[in-house]
Amino acid sequence: MLTSKPSRGATRGTTRRLVAAIVGVLAVMLALPVAASATPVTVIPGLPPIEIPQGPGIPQIPGLPTPPAPTPKPTPKPTPKPTPTPEAKQNAGVPAVPNVPTSTGWIALAKDSTHQIYWYRNGQFVKQMPISMGSAKHPTSNGVYHTKEKYRDMYMDSSTYGVPVDSAEGYRTYVEYATRMSWDGIFIHAAPWSVAQQGSSNVSHGCINVSTANGKWVYDTIPQGTPIVVRGTTGGAYQGT
């Protein structure tokens, strides 16, 4: 059997195709560094470009830049819960407001067991002050008094209720900031001479003794007609108005 030789035209066509393929490969090799410096893609003749995935755990192709490791997000620190502060008991030790009517909104309670007078306004505690009430010989009567006239200063005279000034129990004393509680001579007033006993014992002739500052506060603040309740003394029941 005779084998025919390829024609020159066929040989030239094959040569052209081989040269074109070599040129294409060289073009791909020359293009790779440029592409690597930009977006990393794989170029295969006859196929569309394929992006090369990047990231932790993915092998990298030599010559391509290593992508930076992702910056871990900081773990937010839990906000500490504020430690609850136990609420202080308001007005600890202050007795309840006496259940008596008041036309001024103010009520006072003079309590012999504590030697204190407590002031309330519209049902709310306002002020507390140490006092000295009537001694065992002249106890202050228990009951409801009401504030009346006021004197910036005055002389208290035992003769006004039948005890001569020159007798053993008599007196004539200058006082300041006196607020009358009864028409028979009971006042709440400043008594600087008994400050040491105020809050601890009773030494007056029946009045409620307070310091000068507290006497001024009562004089300046408490309106006429305010009830003052006296409790716990050795005196009898107050029968006045």
115 is catalytic: no
138 is catalytic: no
Residue 103 per-residue DSSP state: S
Q: Amino acid letter at 171?
A: Y
Q: Nearest 5°: CA angle at 118, between 239 and 209?
A: 70
Supply the Cα-derived Rg of the chain in whole angstroms. 53
Contact 117, 226 (CB under 8 A): no
Q: Which of 115, 146, 189, 205 is catalytic?
A: 189
CA distance 219 to 168: 31
Q: What are phi and psi of 119, to 5 degrees?
A: -115, 135
Residue 7 per-residue DSSP state: P
CA distance 141 to 235: 4
Contact 95, 108 (CB under 8 A): no
Active-site residues: which are they? 189, 207
